[in-house]
């Protein structure tokens, strides 16, 4: 039997769960008041305090720390990585401590590593929000200094995709899926044969708007707003992430409350909620293009997916693309524990974290430098076997041209 401790730090809570193999021993959400959090100027200052609360909770449940087989924390804002389970090494700890964005999940791997080191076991993270498997074209925006980044609900999206694959008696690596996670933030992603080749970035304001995030905004008016003097930089960032979306329009992030207001005859609430769901539907359509129309299923998940009214509204727009399956809610602690169990039991490869930067596409033609991006593009123009037609001919032409260079 393997005993797994899963840790999921959030902005106003620290959630923990203890599993004996796949059996839940106990689960707890430790809520943090604004007054408590205000004592800490920086996120990392909360480390010892949150770790102490976890240890206290385990003692209260009569759990001997030395009985743990592994500890896993929610992954934070580290450098881009492929999907998988990663042991928390020194390089990972460094990047969590020096993350370019303060996010409560940054504490997950750090606390897991500290507890694991004390008792002599391994610490892991799995499918952090920065999982990056995007194809090269998906990264490029119209301004070189502003590349698109892969930041999405990787942990839940990957778990739901694998669950659907099991239920379909297929492998995740055999399927093309569009997965839409709908919570406080909303992300829509194209999963092609086990890799997320394109995704919206809810954290930085990309894609549909959500209960608390702005989503994509008109760039010209946004620039003017930035220089209008109406908002500080901090206030604008707060509008993009935290006070945008439903909060900005309706003063609440609660979808059930908005639905109640609609039932009471609030047409403004109806307009805004429908607009939000409409933007979700448009992004699902965009991801079908990323998959060239070859979509096996559309999976709707997250807390908002509990509302059949909302999932039906989305279906009206996108059911022509592929069959729709609804998986309401999420269980990140269970998913973390499952990943750790697969790691310690040897069912899943444990990957080694390295602090890699995204390659600068403007330097792709410098053949003196190794380039994964160049390799990807050159392999893309190699014609598949047994193909005919103009597109295959074009690929052959490009292949000859680049071989000469």
Q: How far apart are CA 324 and CA 371, in angstroms?
A: 39
Polymer length of the chain: 405
Mean pLDDT for each 10-residue chunk of the chain (405 residues)?
94 91 94 88 94 96 95 92 95 92 89 97 95 92 92 93 96 97 94 97 88 94 95 93 93 95 97 98 98 98 95 97 95 94 94 81 77 74 57 55 57
Model pTM score: 0.86
Judge contact between 11 and 253, C-beta under 8 A.
Answer: no
What confidence tens digit (pLDDT) does each residue in 275-307 have? 999 999 999 999 999 999 999 999 999 999 999
Integer angstrom CA distances of residue 70 from 6, 96, 231: 9, 19, 46
Please provide the CATH number assigned to the domain covering 170-329.
3.30.420.40
Domain positions in the chain? 1-153+331-358, 170-329, 361-404
β-strand pairing of 122-126 with 70-73:
parallel
Judge contact between 310 and 52, C-beta under 8 A.
Answer: no
Give the number of other Cβ atoms within 10 Å of residue 107's Cβ: 25
Judge contact between 350 and 87, C-beta under 8 A.
Answer: yes
Tell me, yes or no, if the two domains 1-153+331-358 and 170-329 fold the same way.
Answer: yes
Q: How far apart are CA 298 and CA 98, in angstroms?
A: 37
Q: Provide the pLDDT for residue 400.
A: 58
Give the number of other Cβ atoms within 10 Å of residue 295's Cβ: 22
β-strand pairing of 3-9 with 176-182:
unpaired
End-to-end C-alpha distance for the chain, whole angstroms: 58
Q: Provide the pLDDT for residue 269.
A: 97
Buried b (16+ CB within 10 A) or exposed e, 1-22: ebbbbbbbbbeeebbbbbbeee
> Residue 325's closest CA among 293, 290, 284?
284
Give the number of other Cβ atoms within 10 Å of residue 382's Cβ: 12
Strand-by-strand arrangement of the 297-302 sheet = 195-199, 186-192, 176-182, 297-302, 324-328
Q: Provide the pLDDT for residue 88.
A: 97
Give residue 347's region: left, alpha or beta (phi > 0; psi -120 to 50): alpha
What confidence tens digit (pLDDT) does each residue in 228-256 have? 999 999 999 989 988 999 999 999 999 99
SS3 call for 70: strand
The two most distant CA atoms of the chain are separated, in Å, by: 70
* Domain range 1-153+331-358, its CATH number among 3.40.50.10470, 3.20.20.20, 3.40.50.300, 3.30.420.40: 3.30.420.40
Buried b (16+ CB within 10 A) or exposed e, 152-187: bbbbbbbbbbbbbbeeeeeebeebbbbbbbbbbbbb
Beta-bridge partner residues of 19: 4, 24
Judge contact between 333 and 108, C-beta under 8 A.
Answer: no
């Amino acid at each position: 039997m393997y005993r797994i401790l899963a840790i999921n730090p959030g902005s106003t809570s620290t959630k923990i769960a203890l599993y004996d193999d796949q059996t839940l021993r106990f689960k707890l959400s430790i809520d943090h008041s604004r007054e408590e959090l205000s004592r800490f100027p920086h996120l990392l200052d909360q480390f010892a305090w949150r770790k102490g609360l976890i240890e206290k909770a385990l003692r209260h449940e009569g759990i001997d720390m030395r009985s743990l087989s592994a500890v896993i924390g929610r992954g934070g804002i580290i450098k881009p990585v492929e999907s998988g389970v990663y042991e928390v090494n020194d390089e990972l700890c460094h990047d969590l401590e020096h993350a370019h964005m303060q996010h409560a999940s940054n504490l997950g791997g750090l606390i897991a590593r500290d507890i694991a080191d004390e008792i002599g076991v391994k610490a892991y993270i799995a499918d952090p929000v920065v999982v990056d498997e995007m194809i090269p074209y998906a990264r490029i925006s119209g301004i070189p200094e502003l590349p698109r980044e892969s930041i999405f609900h990787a942990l839940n999206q990957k778990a739901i995709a694998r669950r659907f694959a099991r239920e379909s008696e297929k492998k995740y690596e055999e399927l093309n899926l569009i997965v839409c996670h709908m919570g406080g933030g909303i992300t829509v992603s194209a999963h092609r044969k086990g890799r997320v080749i394109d995704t919206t970035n809810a954290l930085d304001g990309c894609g549909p708007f959500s209960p608390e995030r702005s989503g994509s905004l008109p760039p010209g008016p946004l620039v003017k707003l930035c220089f209008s003097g109406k908002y500080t930089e901090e206030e604008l960032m707060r509008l993009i992430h935290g006070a945008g979306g439903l909060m900005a329009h309706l003063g609440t992030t609660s979808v059930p409350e908005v639905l109640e207001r609609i039932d009471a005859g609030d047409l403004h609430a109806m307009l805004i909620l429908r607009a939000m769901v409409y933007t979700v539907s448009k992004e699902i359509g965009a991801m079908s293009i990323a998959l060239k129309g070859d979509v096996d299923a559309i999976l709707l998940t997250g807390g908002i997916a509990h509302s059949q009214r909302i999932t039906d509204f989305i279906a009206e727009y996108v059911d022509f693309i592929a069959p729709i399956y609804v998986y309401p809610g999420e269980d990140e602690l269970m998913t973390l524990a499952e990943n750790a169990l697969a790691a310690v039991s040897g069912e899943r490869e444990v990957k080694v974290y390295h602090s890699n930067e995204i390659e600068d596409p403007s330097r792709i033609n410098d053949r003196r430098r190794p380039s994964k991006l160049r390799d990807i593009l050159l392999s893309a123009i190699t014609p598949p076997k047994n193909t005919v037609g103009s597109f295959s001919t074009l690929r052959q032409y490009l292949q000859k041209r680049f071989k000469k260079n």
